[in-house]
Homo-oligomer: A and B are copies of this chain.
Amino acid sequence: MPTINRYVDISEVERESKKDYIDRHSPFVICDSTAKKGEKFKVKVRVGQEYAHPDDFDHYIAYIQLWDGERLLAQTTFTPGTLGNEKSQAEVDFYIIPTKKLKLTAMSYCTKHGLWESTPVEVEVTE
């Protein structure tokens, strides 16, 4: 309340329109599986993997948050039109400096279809 919509493996979803709906709203955390302690580490978040989302004035991805466990690392807020009003995938690369093992989750918000959460991604941090 808001509902947190969670990604489900779309290969197990039968209906094409449902695959599309789920995939185009789900944020994906894309990064290496290990990081060096104290060194800058890139974490890409992209909303949608196989499908694309509108960037209409009344229907767009308004923000992406990156969390490490219970801790918010950063939030990017978009203005409609940033993606040229094209169907596309909202995307941002964050840079963080880890000090210990990460459990990264992304949240993204669609102005028509609410709040969505990624599958968490664990990153080992080595000295």
Asked, given contacts A1-B120, A57-B58, A91-B40, whether A76 binds B73 with beta carbons under 8 Å apart, the answer is no
User: Quick one: which of B62, B82, B97 contacts A96, CB cutoff 8 A?
Assistant: B82
Binding site for B on A (CB under 8 A): 1-4, 38, 40, 55-58, 62, 67, 69-84, 86, 88, 90-99, 103, 105, 107, 109, 111, 113-115, 117, 120
Give the number of copies in the complex. Answer: 4
Alpha-carbon distance between A120 and B1 when the two chains are bound, in angstroms: 8
Alpha-carbon distance between A62 and B62 when the two chains are bound, in angstroms: 11
Q: List 12 A-B contacts (CB under 8 A).
A: A2-B67, A38-B86, A57-B80, A62-B72, A70-B114, A70-B115, A71-B111, A73-B79, A74-B82, A80-B111, A82-B96, A83-B97
